[in-house]
Amino acid sequence: MALPLPLLLLLLPPAAAARGAPGAYVWPWPQKISVSPNRSCALHPGLFHFEYSAASAVQPGCAVLDQAFVRYPGIIFGPGPWLSPDRPGLKQTMKNSLQVLVAVPECGPFPEMNSVENYTLILNDHDFILKAHTVWGALRGLETFSQLIWRSDEGMFSVNWTEIVDFPRFPHRGLLLDTSRHYLPLEVILETLDVMAYNKFNVFHWHIVDDPSFPYESMTFPELNRKGSYNPISHIYTIGDVKTVIEYARLRGIRVIAEFDTPGHTLSWGKGVPGLLTPCYAGATPSGTYGPINPILNKTYEFMASFFQEISSVFPDFYLHLGGDEVDFTCWQSNPDIQAFMKEKGFDNYEKLESFYIQKLLNIVSSYGKGYIVWQEVFDNNVKLRPDTVVHVWRETQPSPYAFEMDTITKAGYRVLLSAPWYLNRISYGEDWQEIYRVEPLNFEGSPEQKALVIGGEACMWGEYVDETNLTPRLWPRAGAVAERLWSSQSVTDVGLAYDRLTHFRCELLRRGVQAQPLNVGYCEHEYFQH
């Protein structure tokens, strides 16, 4: 049902008139939105609830929506106290429920790359309904609804008459957290998943292990975390922790893609698996130090087969991230056994040796029915990749600008993710979110068919200088700039209007208990307080 006039049409891009209109601060910006400036409905926290439409193909018993219906009233209204719903002089129409209608009779079990996230939201005197194709789209619509509610100076909750038709521009909208360089407690990861949902991110890229530590508790190889973690009691993720993260993410429509990066970035692996890493040499004798995984031994691949069989069973997403970046060849170059192997195989450079290893690993992972994402060096080194491989672009300028890399990868027919300009661990004085916001993922030479292979991107928060003390303010609201770029229409580029909305959204994050840093001088009605 179309909204009655008069309307303030906030189509794409957002009109300047949106700045003062209640409900005009949604983040990320919807594909189409219409807001009435002078007609609204009242909501009372004690009476309002979410319910399934009688016509919905999904009904009570669907945990994804059942739990969202319980979660969102607290997000919207806070702890109170609230005004009485029968206060004198209340002229607005009181709405006590939002009807939710889901078209497809499925409740998960897990979101996937191709999950549909579209929704339609209609709010007026006649209809108060959220329609979605899937439960994942319904979650996105509930988040948008939560951001439309505003509280008057008198303490009344209201929502303006609104009509929204919305869907994401890209299917993969991710955030990477590094839990090796600094261990991030489970509660911090769960809070991050909450804020990801507020921004409509849908992929948690868990860079769980690296050189400094191995905090993943392996069931098959328990010595990995016992000897490779910072502390095998306090600084590990148990199998229970991992399942908690996966389920918490699922209930928010977020996929969990684990990364176990090899053959480089693996010094912590060697502590628990003797013989896995390459011994480095100083002249003719071992130096006592170790380099990347040893690619010439059969037992290396026996280990990888067992390890990734476990990983494939623990992480339900179709994709695993297998890394493959920044392999330091110095140790391989020093090792006489490696040199002899290369001579036997006819390898004239170390990229070919790396490709030999990666090829075997990809075959192992494929045998378990998994797809894989790899960093761009794997493609650059001409490893034979499956057609469904996703190549992850992270280098900004070396050996070539990322736009050229995007063109090259898509020209070869592979799908691609962009992260190169979105390394949020890099900070500078001032409003660096604006440069993040101005990035256009499709700004490279290429045909429409090539650009259709860009499936999205990820904001990355590497952990050299980040732990639980500064993760949240460094992430938010800066990561929101990436979220909007990946969700909203390509035409939504006005930095001034984005500043107004992101500033408002930052204040909303504070109200929700998220320690998001300020964008500039100013204040919020609800300043941050520690829960």
Mean pLDDT of 30-51: 94
Set 326, 440, 445, 449: catalytic member? 326
pLDDT digit string (tens) for 91-120? 567 899 999 999 999 998 999 999 999 999
Q: What is the pLDDT of residue 157?
A: 92
Distance of CA 16 to the CA centre of its chain: 30
pLDDT band at 239; cut points 50, 70, 90: very high
Tell me the pairing of strands 172-178 and 128-132: unpaired
The whole-number pLDDT of residue 92 equals 67
Active site (annotated) includes residue 344: no
Return the pLDDT at 531.
Answer: 54
Retrieve residue 50's tokens: 């979410």
What is the spatial distance between Cα 458 and Cα 438, in angstroms, rounded to a whole number?
15
Q: How high does pLDDT run on average in the chain? A: 93
pLDDT over threshold 80, residue 154: no
Closest CA to 255 of 207, 316, 180, 170: 316
Q: What residues does 285 pair with on adjacent strands?
A: 282
Largest distance between two CA atoms of the chain: 91
- What average pLDDT does the segment 82-87 reach? 72
Average pLDDT over residues 271-285: 96
**Over the stretch 441-461, which tens digit does the pLDDT of each residue have?**
999 999 999 999 999 999 999
DSSP bridge pairs for 416 = 391, 454
Q: Residue 409 burial by CB count (10 A; 0-12/13-18/19+): exposed, middle or buried?
A: buried
pLDDT at 20 over 90: no
Q: Token match 């996929």: residue? A: 255
Q: What is the pTM of this model?
A: 0.95
